[in-house]
Structures are given as C-alpha cells and as structure tokens.
C-alpha cells in the first residue's frame, strides 16, 4: 500500500514539475478550457436562479372550487375537513357568495350597479393553495375535487405552471446539449495536448520500459496531467463565472426592484462550482486516457 501511494505521489510531483516548467503553455490551455466551460456554466447559473425564482411564484397559485348552490354550512365544512389534511394542500380558504358579491361590487365605480340584480349570481367558493403546484401534484387534487358531489366546477390555472416547467426543462436540455458539445471540444484539446506530451517524452518512456517500468506506471503521470489541465480550466471557469455574476448582480437587482421583486442573482459556489471542478477534472482524465489508448 505504501509503495502504491509513493508511486502516485511521485507521479503528481512529476506532473507539477512539468506544468511549472511549461507554465505559459499550461496557462494558455487552462484559459482555453476555462472559457469553454464558462459558456454552459453561465446557462446553468441562469437556470438555477430562474428555478429559485419560480418557487416563490408557484406559492401564489390556487385551485378555485365553485360549489353547488343551496349547500348548508355542515356540508361545506365537511368538504373543507376532507381537503385540508391532503399532503399537497397548504391552505383552504372559504369565500361565501355574499362576500364575493361585495368584493365584486367594490371593483366598480358605481356602487349600486349590482343592486338591481334579482339574486346573487355568484356561488360559494373554496380557494386552495397547494404546497407544490407542479402539474403532477395539482392534478390528483383536481381529480378528487371533481369527484365530490358538492363541487360544481374546479378551475386550476395550470397552463402557466406547465409552460414554466416546460421552459425550465427545455433550458436544461439546451444547456446539457451545449455542455456536451463543448465537453467534446475539451476532450479534443486535452487529448491532443497529452498526445504531444507523450511524443515529447517518448525517449524517456522507452528508457523506462527498458528498465522494467509497467504500463500503468508510465501512463499514470499523463493521466494526472490531463486531470490537472481539466481542474485548472475548471478553476478559471469558476473565477470567470463568479466575476460575471458579481458584475451583473447590481443591474439585475435594480431591474428586479423596478418590478417590485426581491429577486437576486446568485452563484452557488459549492453546488455549481464544485460540480464544474469535478466534471472538468473527470473530462481531463478521460481525454488523457483516450490519448494514451490511441498512442498504445
């Protein structure tokens, strides 16, 4: 175990020495990788912020339940007691038709406009706020309400919810496709760089083989070098993304204030930044592995 650990430490020291010797070339490659990773990374940051903002919007969505006429208070209370314990339901608010007609009358400039009506045309209604208004959550509640004899009509504003979820899903798919294409470009860049390193140290590799070095021992420094290129590019990408988000934070906040919103542009360093660093290092390792496989 100690011998295996020493071999890995030796390989890492050799990689660091080579990167330091050719520091300008290393910096150039890391900058190219970093800019490449920044583009899809900014898409994920934008989608992450939109998803956070959509959670607060979803809390205001309601299911409107219009009850049949001539229901007594006990029947209505029993319906409320059956709906309130559902895990999807956050709040149930009952609005009698008398209160509804008063609220409607307050919206007109002529207060006596509804006084000539022979009777109140509005029904008693329940307004149900859901804990999660995702369509998969709202539809079971809607189906249960429609099966009740006390309910005349159920209206759920699910069109905009489905559109919002569809837009977020589409954005994630586009960002994923974009990241995949740029990941292939990263693999090409790192693979060619590692292949050039192999050719540069070909004589050293032949000497190592003559003295009995194993294949894994020879290729281990190049695998670490590919991971180092990817990790360095990831660090550059995280720094660029942090700087871009920081520069856009104040203008976005001013725009949100004009629309009476408390939305703030944030960059989750641990979640998104950690994912970028891990993905970049893995892509670098894969690129180096491909280059060594082709070389062999």
Q: Is there a single domain that holds both residue 291 and residue 201?
A: yes
pLDDT at 103: 65
62-67 sheet: strands from edge to edge: 89-95, 125-130, 62-67, 151-156
The average pLDDT across 174-201 equals 85
Q: Is there a single domain that holds both residue 149 and residue 183?
A: no
Of the candidates 129, 156, 183, which is a domain's last residue? 156
| CATH code of the domain in which 93 resides | 3.30.70.3040
Of the candidates 121, 156, 191, which is a domain's last residue? 156
Q: Is there a single domain that holds both residue 34 and residue 85?
A: no
Q: Is there a single domain that holds both residue 66 and residue 9?
A: no
Q: Is there a single domain that holds both residue 180 and residue 277?
A: yes
**3-state secondary structure at position 132:** coil
Of the candidates 156, 172, 194, which is a domain's last residue? 156
pLDDT at 77: 86
pLDDT at 231: 93
pLDDT at 100: 65
Answer with the residue of higher pLDDT: 189 or 122. Answer: 189
The average pLDDT across 241-256 equals 88
Separation of alpha carbons 32 and 237, rounded Å: 10
pLDDT at 110 over 60: no
**3-state secondary structure at position 263:** coil
Q: Is there a single domain that holds both residue 213 and residue 282?
A: yes
Answer with the residue of higher pLDDT: 96 or 224. Answer: 224
pLDDT at 111 over 60: no
Answer with the residue of higher pLDDT: 104 or 18. Answer: 18
- Where are the strands (E) in 136-239, listed by range? 151-156
pLDDT band with cut points at 50, 70 and 90 for residue 195: confident
Q: Which of 47-61, 193-207, 237-251 has the lowest mean pLDDT?
A: 47-61
pLDDT band with cut points at 50, 70 and 90 for residue 114: low
Q: What angle do CA 164, 167, 170 make, to 5 degrees?
A: 150
Name the domain count of the chain.
2
Q: Is there a single domain that holds both residue 117 and residue 216?
A: no
DSSP string covering 154-177, please?
EEE--HHHHHHHHHHHHHHHHHHH
pLDDT at 128 over 80: yes
Q: Which of 57-61, 96-100, 218-222 has the lowest mean pLDDT?
A: 57-61
The pTM of this model reads: 0.65
Q: Is there a single domain that holds both residue 177 and residue 191?
A: yes
Q: How many CB atoms lie within 10 A of CB 31?
A: 15
Q: Is there a single domain that holds both residue 72 and residue 179?
A: no
Provide the Cα torsion 234, 236, 241, 243; round to 10°.
Answer: 160
Q: What six digits make up the tokens of 28?
A: 């150039």
Q: Is there a single domain that holds both residue 176 and residue 288?
A: yes
* Containing structural domain, residue 107: 62-156
Q: Is there a single domain that holds both residue 242 and residue 130?
A: no
pLDDT at 61: 61
**DSSP summary character for residue 261:** -
Distances (CA, A) of 28 to 119, 190, 198, 278: 79, 12, 19, 20
Separation of alpha carbons 265 and 52, rounded Å: 10
pLDDT at 31: 92
Answer with the residue of higher pLDDT: 149 or 58. Answer: 149
Q: Is there a single domain that holds both residue 33 and residue 141?
A: no
């Amino acid at each position: 175990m100690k011998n295996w650990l020493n071999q890995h430490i030796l390989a890492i020291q050799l990689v660091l020495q080579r990167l330091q010797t050719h520091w300008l070339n290393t910096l150039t490659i890391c900058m190219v990788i970093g800019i490449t990773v920044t583009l899809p990374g900014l898409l994920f940051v934008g989608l992450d912020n939109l998803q956070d903002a959509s959670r607060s919007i979803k809390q205001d969505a309601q299911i409107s339940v219009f009850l049949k006429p001539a229901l007594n208070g006990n029947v209505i209370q029993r319906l409320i007691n059956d709906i309130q314990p559902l895990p999807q339901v956050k709040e149930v608010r009952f609005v009698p038709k008398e209160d509804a007609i008063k609220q409607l009358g307050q919206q007109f400039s002529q207060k006596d406009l509804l006084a000539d009506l022979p009777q109140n045309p509005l029904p008693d209604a329940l307004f149900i706020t859901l804990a999660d208004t995702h369509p998969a959550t709202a539809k079971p509640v809607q189906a249960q309400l429609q099966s009740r004899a006390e309910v005349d009509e159920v209206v759920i504003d699910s069109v905009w919810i489905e559109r919002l979820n569809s837009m977020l899903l589409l954005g994630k798919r586009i960002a994923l496709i974009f990241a995949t294409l740029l990941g292939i470009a990263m693999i090409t860049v790192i693979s060619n760089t590692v292949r050039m390193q192999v050719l540069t140290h070909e004589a050293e590799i032949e000497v190592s083989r003559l003295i009995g070095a194993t294949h894994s021992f020879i290729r281990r420094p190049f695998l670490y070098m590919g991971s180092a290129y990817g990790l360095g590019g990831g660090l550059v990408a995280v720094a660029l993304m942090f700087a871009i988000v920081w520069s856009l934070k104040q203008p976005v906040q001013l725009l949100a204030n004009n629309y009476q919103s408390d939305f703030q542009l944030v960059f989750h360093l641990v979640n998104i930044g950690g994912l970028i660093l891990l993905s970049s290092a893995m892509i670098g390792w894969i690129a180096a592995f491909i280059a060594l496989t082709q070389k062999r």
